[in-house]
Amino acid sequence: MDVIKWYIENQPTYKRLSSKVESLLSEVFEIENASYHIITSRAKDIDSVRRKVSKGKYNKPIEQIQDFSGIRIITYVEDEIEKICEIIEKTFNIDNANSSNKSEALGIDKVGYKSIHYVASLDKSRLKLPEYKQYIGKCFEIQVRTILQHAWAEIEHDRNYKFTGKLPLDIGRRFKILAGVLEMADREFNNISNEIDLIAKATLESTKKGNLNISINSTTLNQYLNTKFSSVFKDKDELIPNTTENLINEIEKFGLYSLADFDAIISKDIELALIKLKAKVGTIYESGLVRRILIVHDYDKYFSKIVDAEDTDEFPWAWTTPDTETEEREFFTECGIDWSKIEEKYNAFIAF
């Protein structure tokens, strides 16, 4: 049977399969709280199948080509790959004989293309469902790689013919050195990510014990706020982390350098006011919470030292919508602050 004619007829099914697998993985990753950058999917285009078949590598291409349907998962760092792979292996039937880890294939003395490739199919329980029966006997390929591994693959393998084949010795050597640099960078990003996690864990444990003699940075502040206001923000999506260097600078300009310093200025009315505010607005940004705390403690200090009173057109936060302005005013009222006085004195609009 002519494989191209067969694939033209079957390509729509492979497109649906790719889309189904992508959607299924997105849902499972969310349930499992698995971190990743992006998932993409595709059905192989007809010209690509034609090129693959023309190489003469397959005597039964319909049976032997296993990537008519393809899904690619890109993670931020290498440590995320392990959890992603665990989920893939328990979600699908894996053809271990035809799956591979390109990193292991490189050996200890080489650098280059790194990626994990699974050849998989849907499990029997799913294939019994009416909407999945069309995928019986069909497999798909899943690739898992980091952002930097993906960048290398795009340059070396997927996109640019200039870098394939045998290169002049000097260029070839430089090319391999570059591959090594990318691999080292990938590893260092992973190490930095792990160190940040350790800082977050240590801060969480110290905060629970009441030890707040910890320098303020984005990581320590996030852990502190979630612990301090655990009765307010019970779900991870209710306090949105968005601490920037500018926000840390604002805290330092206010004269606060440790979590103990910051904790000492929090009004006893803040927690109850936050519970009422969150009930009305749903989510609260970390930066907005910090600025509310600073303003409630000493709005004169905040607007004279942090915000340039002569340049009130540009505040370091985003404008509120008319619907939330009333709720914000009520929050400050709950904390004993009359915002109209701030408005009159500093021409400052509520804008969290």
pLDDT reading at 2 higher than 80:
yes
CA 257 to CA 40: how far, in whole Å?
43
pLDDT reading at 309 higher than 50:
no
pLDDT reading at 160 higher than 60:
no
Q: What is the pLDDT of residue 352?
A: 55
pTM: 0.67
- Counting residues of the chain whose pLDDT is more than 70, the rounded percentage is 86
Q: What is the pLDDT of residue 111?
A: 47
For residue 23, give the amino acid letter.
S
Q: What is the pLDDT of residue 305?
A: 81
Q: What is the pLDDT of residue 133?
A: 93
Q: What is the mean pLDDT of residues 107-114?
A: 50
Quick check: 41 and 21 in contact, CB under 8 A? yes
pLDDT in tens, 204-217: 888 888 889 999 99
Residue predicted with more confidence, 148 or 19: 19
CA 261 to CA 268: how far, in whole Å?
15
CA 45 to CA 67: how far, in whole Å?
11
pLDDT reading at 221 higher than 90:
yes
| Residue 308's pLDDT band (cuts 50, 70, 90) | low
Half-sphere exposure of 220 (CA within 13 A, CB side): 19
User: CATH assignment of 3-168, given 3.30.460.10, 1.10.10.60, 3.40.140.10, 3.90.480.10?
Assistant: 3.30.460.10
CA 58 to CA 101: how far, in whole Å?
22
* Highest averaged pLDDT of the listed ranges 67-76, 170-179, 186-195, 208-217: 67-76
Which alpha helices (DSSP H) does 58-168 contain, by range? 61-64, 79-91, 102-106, 124-127, 147-153
Q: What is the pLDDT of residue 334?
A: 92
Interacting residues of 245 by C-beta distance below 8 A, sequence separation 6+ = none
Residue predicted with more confidence, 90 or 192: 90
Q: What is the pLDDT of residue 322?
A: 43
pLDDT reading at 316 higher than 50:
no
pLDDT in tens, 333-348: 999 998 888 888 877 6
pLDDT reading at 167 higher than 70:
no
Q: What is the pLDDT of residue 94?
A: 95
Mean pLDDT of the chain: 84
In this structure, the dihedral spanned by the alpha carbons of residues 344, 347, 349 and 352, taken in order and rounded to 10 degrees, is: -120
Q: What is the pLDDT of residue 80?
A: 92
CA 27 to CA 30: how far, in whole Å?
5
The domain locations on the chain are 3-168, 212-346
CA 17 to CA 67: how far, in whole Å?
12
Q: What is the pLDDT of residue 114?
A: 65
Q: What is the mean pLDDT of residues 157-177?
A: 67
Q: What is the mean pLDDT of residues 268-277?
A: 92
Q: In which element (H, E) is residue 285 found?
A: strand 284-285
